[in-house]
Amino acid sequence: MKNIQESQSALVNDTCNDCGSYADIGAVIDEHDTQLSISFTGVDAKVEAEAVALKAKSRFDGVESEIKTDSDLTSLVIHFAYSAEKMIFQLENGI
């Protein structure tokens, strides 16, 4: 157990011998990580990007999005109000 603790980052505090690791949630979630970037390709790339943006806007208040298209690549940037909203959206949608 001591070797595991010594090899961990200072941000991780592994104190539980029975259940594995404990991590300070502040080390996992950055409160300023509110921007999600997704790239789409193919014929329906813009339609898919618009659908994902609409899904985010209907799920959370205050969501803003930007769609940019460059040749074969369509980029969607979604700005959430809180990092937890971003994480929830990613988990719910498998992103």
Distance CA 39, CA 20 (A): 36
Mean pLDDT, to the nearest integer, of 65-89?
A: 95
In degrees rounded to 5, what are phi and psi of residue 27? -80, -20
Fold of 31-95: Alpha-Beta Plaits (3.30.70)
C-alpha closest to that of 49 among 68, 63, 64 = 68
Assess contact for 43 and 74: CB atoms under 8 A.
no
What ranges do the domains of the chain cover? 1-28, 31-95
The Cα diameter of the chain in Å comes to 54
pTM score > 0.85 for this model? no
Q: What is the per-residue pLDDT across 76-86, written as a single tens digit (0 to 9) for each?
A: 999 999 999 99
